[in-house]
A and B are shown apart, each in its own frame.
Chain A
């Protein structure tokens, strides 16, 4: 083997050669290195200049740092005692304490009494995600008369101990750095006041099903003004398609009528039928909405503006629609979905002795559970958008058993078969349907999700003896025996999917989950609220629910609106853009970058007798996204609470000792 210089290469030196390369390559490398070093030096110089510009010495602060064990959620991984020890050495830190649950009352008391007794002017809690407990600790800090925005929460649980469970040392280092960054940020924090804006005490309820009506009735019954917008020509939603409902066995129409009467009787509720919410702007307490529809009987399309303080999403669900051919749906006339079957049963004359559908006498009937629900990757065919409905739709089991029982009671000669994976009659009074269906002779088959059932045609049109359809199941109740069950009709227990509200999701910027339903902030802490403040969830827009659960969710949404409207003003976090008018040159680049209509605009002001343009922020409309900050050539715009000098200080805190594997306390200390 020879290289291009003709010298023979010694075995074993290849690796070395590869690194060193030829003299030319080496030279090139050296050159590149020199360029790199020059660049690095330039960056360093630039950094130094920036730091000098900032201020010679960081402001004096008195910081209290509280590190949470979270019972063990954090301390099982992160060495919290060492974190406390290290951060206590950072200049300005007066106290660094470890607590088992900082969010508990004794934990909060420690913070408040330290603020008062040790004269703290900044507080850091290193615990869970701020989405969980930032409000909690801001409240604690406020109780000690410290401005709540002189508080920083550091997430060392979701981003620390949970994410880096297998790297305790790394998680510990990470915690130290993140706290050091937060302390850096706090050095440049200034007291801020919440933005107070008028609170328009009127709620817009989108959707006139039972969830929407219940929320409207509850709020109006409490004296609040409500606008109820329904896209169809009648109130009642999906329940209009139902017969008797479980577990009360009352007619759905009775329930719907009761709510409609309450809606109509309350002068605080304005009902708009045939209407859609076509535009939503603004924020909690001040949503500017446009509602479009033919409001009058004339039918001409018209629009109206409404200024509302809260929006209740009661947009409900749509039943899963099986693909053509899925269990012979749309291929055999007697393969129906549960809503279709309920309609069919209701349409039958009360005196009818035989169950006849599309000319076929139904002597045997199969109910299939979990159609479009509990779908498994690799087993079920994804929908056209590639998604699977992995969730349980919650209501189908009881609905099916209620219908199965109804068939057995009304047509005792019809054989009823039930094909399920699990029977989930979990609710109050629902288990009775299972017990009674068994007693009434419904025959149960059970299959595993991995072995789906098949529905096939027999090839003959259903004579006296042979049924036209066959359901094939690997039955878990008979130890996996493959059974063929001939039936005249198959009812598909279809699950729930969210209504088509893509436009609203887009315009209100609503978060959705993997299941495409609207996503609450937290299932236990803020179960009917979404990340957009002032928008509430009432019912199946959030996920499958039965009637009672929908009514309760609607009540829970109503109570949040009522609490919100108990105040004269809405209070918003002050993290919005602020303009330094002395630096603003009026070039309006920031306005072009702003995504929030009306949040930034140019106004004419007089400077030294000259009329000039300057940027102005509407705090209510500004989301604090910061898109305007980097585009300003004169650094005239910044976001309060997240100012550039705070970012600089955070970065300094984060990189303090990135070159060393062990935490360099000296370097952190040097930072201060």
Chain B
């Protein structure tokens, strides 16, 4: 028995309608832990280079991790992995919601879907039965109505019209949560697969279960006592970030033309909590409850996350929270990623503003933007071009220098010109412009202890460390938000203008050499809850060094996939606007000094000067090419 795993991968071929199982842990798979890491290994092994994301042979992989279904706080998560139709690079996106635990308790760790059904179908997975059913009456429906039409005892992952119509930034929705990024919903749609539903009551075996239950009590109390996970996130949701990103001048405004607007604070988490919040919501077994339910036109609907406020609100010149509630609701129901959608509409508006593409889209025109959302999801009119994302729109209409993406994936709501380490992270993360594969901005701009955001000192090793930790979290799979509690709670009450604060941040900024050693070292201690939980589940000691190595391996596996698809240094970059135009008064350089950081980053990562992973690095981590 492998503790933490159900032991089986379910493989379904929608072309033949047949399914089979194989062992989860075979060969060298144990080295990849689960979640993102293991799914990337499997994707690499199952595909040949150049396979089109919409080819029926392209696998769409739903994976859980060893902590899924164990009751560990914030562990009810799954990740979807494939090749991105938006970027051509590795695609993955994680989600909470209601599928992960129920799928695992049906008896499986991973679901691999290949092929293409002749007609729209859904997959229903139970302990004793796997069925492919006609998606009668569901095709064409929004994600909310679709989930309402599925069995009540199951958890679900569904697509909306955007996925059906292969919008390149279509998402997958589970309950109220979203696996948003990289266009995985379009791959699901290309297979004529509308929904995956699952349920079961099998037990996930845990080696030291009584220890885990005791530690669980401690962790819930710890998270509830921490200012970030026990106060700020439950009270204000992720929208707490509006005030600080406006103050930091890094919230995208009218397609990243500036770093905030005088009206930005109309969209703050405080404003939402004071005037619109009905109640908090959260994923199964999560004590944080960062989700929002808000009042909108006499109804209670899911409230927007910070990213949605940033991109569908501020970035589009929409400064009314109720308007953003509606746009957020439309994103989820139509099944589009609000980050890429907000960027793509913002780009269309700036193209129009500059006369490069007279499309009639204007910043702040909420009514037109609402209508445009439906046109995008159904690929009608100008929505057909916007549905392809900023990179392809720039190829057709121009404006590449202000098409805000990295590797084709649109940037989240932290303008890297005010957090240079985050800029390096965007440029080097294998899936493209993404903030949760490291969240370096937390240590530069948004967190309680921040180092100089306009310095390159220590940033390359810091980004590597952050990326590895995030990859380990997404392979386990924990929620990234637990990581915010890694900063001691005392930091939140320090005088940010005091001597102690200055001493700590100065020391951090000068810690580059130590960080470089830490990245490659193998710390034999257990420090954080991540390795402690895994140790109790597996019944063997997992150290911080082991955890970081799992993360490094998962990250480099993604990198290896990209290298096989021809990605290299030319792709590890940012839009010209981020490199050449400053939004700050009195900052000596004009944009993110990426080139100054990239060589150092590559050296730490074990890449050659062209940004390609070396055999030596693969050997160090035991990765098969």
A and B together in one complex? no
Query: What is the interface of chain B, defined by CB distance below 8 A to chain A?
Result: none
Query: What is the interface of chain A, defined by CB distance below 8 A to chain B?
Result: none
